[in-house]
Amino acid sequence: MDVTTWYLEQTDPADLRPARPPQEPVEISRAEVPSPEFGRFLYTAVGGDWQWTERLPWTWRRWMDWLDRPGTETWVAWLRGTPAGYAELVADGDGQVEIASFGLLPYAIGRGLGGHLLETAASRAWDIARRVPGLAPTRRVWVHTCSLDGPAALPNYRARGFRVYDERLNVPGDADEGSTPGPWPGAGPRG
């Protein structure tokens, strides 16, 4: 199957467009203590239905090294005490911040939370240098998504003011399309 990957960016904090407020009370907070267990949980719970597989073979140590780097932050959306989604920010030290992972858990999709979470994540990417000593001020926030991701991903990025700066078509290796790398096969509600 052919996969299209879009690379999007903002180059000024004024590029960020606000989202509609969520209809349900959502708290978004930073997971300040690096936790490989929690990081892997979020990665599989959010990415399982979208074929996120790159980090599945990571060891506990590799997760810890990734999460414990200065300029890496995990922001979690909570709906009535339950994780609803997350955004992972990675600053490169030269003023560029990648939204390396972003998404909602299956139960939270379609509830109007994604725009709010993305707006918060992009805002935190723009002000990350205030929280990380010695980090250069952000001059660019970027993200990528692909045609395997949820259908709302690309429209959400564009609605928040991200612009496509590159688009690539690639053919991934053969994968077992019946398998799901998430917390368990078919974890998400699918009509």
pLDDT of residue 144: 95
What's the DSSP call for residue 182?
A: S
Is position 44 within any domain? yes
Give me the domain span that covers residue 22. 3-170
What's the DSSP call for residue 115?
A: H
Choose among 88, 113, 81: nearest CA to 35.
88
Asked if 120 and 28 count as a contact pair (C-beta separation under 8 A), the reply is yes
Q: What angle do CA 29, 30, 31 make, to 5 degrees?
A: 120
Q: What is the CATH number of the domain that holds 135?
A: 3.40.630.30
The domain total for the chain is: 1
**pLDDT tens-digit readout, 36-64:** 999 999 999 999 888 888 999 899 999 99
Is position 10 within any domain? yes
What's the DSSP call for residue 153?
A: H
* pLDDT range class, residue 124, cuts 50, 70, 90: very high
Is position 191 within any domain? no
Task: Tell me the two tokens of residue 84.
Answer: 């609803």
Is position 55 within any domain? yes
pLDDT of residue 177: 44
Q: What angle do CA 55, 39, 152 make, to 5 degrees?
A: 75
Taking the CA atoms of residue 43, residue 49, residue 54 and residue 56 in that order, the dihedral angle to the nearest 10 degrees is 60
* pLDDT range class, residue 185, cuts 50, 70, 90: very low
* pLDDT range class, residue 150, cuts 50, 70, 90: confident
Q: Higher model confidence: residue 95 or residue 186?
A: 95
pLDDT of residue 182: 52
